[in-house]
Structure 1
Amino acid sequence: MIRVDDLTVRYGPSTVLHNVGFAVAQGESFALVGESGSGKSTILKALSGQVDDWSGQMTVGGQPVTRSRSRAQAAQVQMVFQDPYGSLHPRRTVDDALSEPLAIHGLPDRDARVLAMLDAVGLARRFRFRLPHQLSGGQRQRVAIARALMLSPKVLLLDEPTSALDVSVQAEILNLLKRLRAEQGLTFLLVTHDLPVVSFLCDRLAVLRAGRVVETADVAALRGRALTSDYGRELLARSEGMA
């Protein structure tokens, strides 16, 4: 579903990704892990068309990712951001947020689609006309996930989707994502520094350091503390030290 080959990204004179490559199967949940500044989120930005200065090849669903994506291509790849409050317009209601993609793409039956999606993400219909500040962090992230799913994408790019939430809410959102992936046949590309999240939600992972992939592994290797790269083992040790 996703293929990245020799991806190099530059921000001005700085190269932040160096010949990165990996592949994600249809329906798979794949994680990009590494410390801040390793280039994880830049990969998501490149796949979603938010980066201009890149070289290499990227495909989604067999179709090449280009710098001028069509509306149909854009609809197939949607992103859920780290901060659900910052990603929602403070003066637009939940209904506005969910209806806007439908209006842009000229899709019918907007009321029914909005209500169905509220049900799908476990958000009571009474929240439909509330503003973001009237919702909890977990409720806002449910809205953000619902908005990302309104166009029935094949791929969700998840940029630290639970790190801004209270610990008590993180498990609810992770369980929701796991259920939605199974129900809708979604492919996930997850960016996180939280290895327990990877262990719960993902099938495989790539370890990034300073813009390079240093290891790709099955999640079983993570659970069994059997990562092979020095840096992967270092990340494991740090995670266990914080537990």
Structure 2
Amino acid sequence: MSAISLKNLDVSYGHNKVVTGVNIDVAEGESFALVGESGSGKSTVLKAIAGLAPEWTGEISLLGQSRSHMVERSSAKQCQMVFQDPYGSLHPRKSVDTVLMEPLMVHGIGNRNARVMEMLAAVGLDKRFRFRFPHQLSGGQRQRVAIARALILEPKVMLLDEPTSALDVSVQAEILNLLKKLRREQDLTYLMVTHNLPVVSFMCDRMAVMNKGRIVEIASASALHDGGFIDPYSLSLYAASGGNPDKKDTE
């Protein structure tokens, strides 16, 4: 069974269609990337899956269940999103404890104190951080809290929208290693948006290359090592990242 299945997905903002004819199947436990330049529609696909871009047509399925255009409680428990900017995704006047407690309260989940402490530990934060506010945290610590918030409902699918691009370079590797560890320990499925091809190579099994709202190629992450792309746009991205698009022909 696919963890995420998109069939003929079109997404619009008003009269402006920004995603056209997207077809993707992400297997359970897989880490899959959407790559492409800014404005190619990558984040819009994630927002449609999460219920944050309701003007879509086609079919979106999560773990075998078709989702509607509304924000659904059942979908929220199955699928959570980590946003790009940890400075903007956390409420400045809410403590870490409040941020983590709210999803549990909304969904009527008990044993909340223990669950909050468990999630803080899972993302590498000790109990000292529980009652701090976002302005008292570094960027990396904020993103760890955002990851903990996404995980606290025990979803099986995680949508990751450029989860490290707003962080200092020295912190990016820590967060990527954390995400890789959590995927392994909690048997998670990732759909990650990124423009950083080395991140794809480190984190993902496969990728879909998007250009102007359409998928132009689906390839294994191994193509980042051997240059095994077919589409000219994919090859140009690969070359821009420092790869040799003629490598497969010269070996």
The match for 1:88 among 90, 94, 98 is: 90
Look up the match of 1:60: 62
Are 1:143 and 2:128 an aligned pair?
no
Deviation of the 1:99 alpha carbon: 0.6
* Code of the aligned partner of 1:49: G
Unaligned 5+ residue runs, structure 2? 244-251
Tell me if structure 1 keeps the 8 A contact 2:79–2:156.
yes
| SS in structure 2 of the partner of residue 108 of structure 1 | coil
The match for 1:218 among 217, 220, 223 is: 220
Look up the match of 2:169: 167
The match for 2:8 among 3, 6, 10 is: 6
Tell me if structure 1 keeps the 8 A contact 2:50–2:71.
no
* Code of the aligned partner of 1:96: T
Instruction: Deviation per CA, 1:160-205: give whole Å up to 9, x if none.
Output: 0000000110000000000000000100000000000000000000
Instruction: Deviation per CA, 1:117-138: give whole Å up to 9, x if none.
Output: 1110001210110000100000
Equivalent residues, number: 241
Unaligned 5+ residue runs, structure 1? none
With 189-198 and 4-13 compared, the bigger mean Cα shift is at 4-13
Q: Percent identity over the alignment?
A: 62
Give TM-score scaled by structure 1 length: 0.97
Q: Which runs of 4+ in 1 moved over 3 A?
A: none
* Code of the aligned partner of 1:228: I
Deviation of the 1:42 alpha carbon: 0.5
| SS in structure 1 of the partner of residue 24 of structure 2 | strand
* Code of the aligned partner of 1:158: L
Determine the C-alpha separation between the residues in 1 that align with 2:235 and 2:72.
41
Are 1:21 and 2:23 an aligned pair?
yes
Determine the C-alpha separation between the residues in 1 that align with 2:17 and 2:74.
30
Instruction: Deviation per CA, 1:52-111: give whole Å up to 9, x if none.
Output: 211101101000011134312221110000000100000111001111100111111111
Determine the C-alpha separation between the residues in 1 that align with 2:83 and 2:225.
26
Alignment of 1:27-176 (within 5 A): 27-176=29-178
Look up the match of 1:203: 205
Determine the C-alpha separation between the residues in 2 that align with 1:88 and 1:122.
18
| SS in structure 1 of the partner of residue 242 of structure 2 | helix
Determine the C-alpha separation between the residues in 2 that align with 1:122 and 1:38.
34
| SS in structure 1 of the partner of residue 116 of structure 2 | helix
Determine the C-alpha separation between the residues in 1 that align with 2:77 and 2:230.
37
Determine the C-alpha separation between the residues in 2 that align with 1:116 and 1:9.
37
Question: What's the Cα RMSD here?
Answer: 0.9
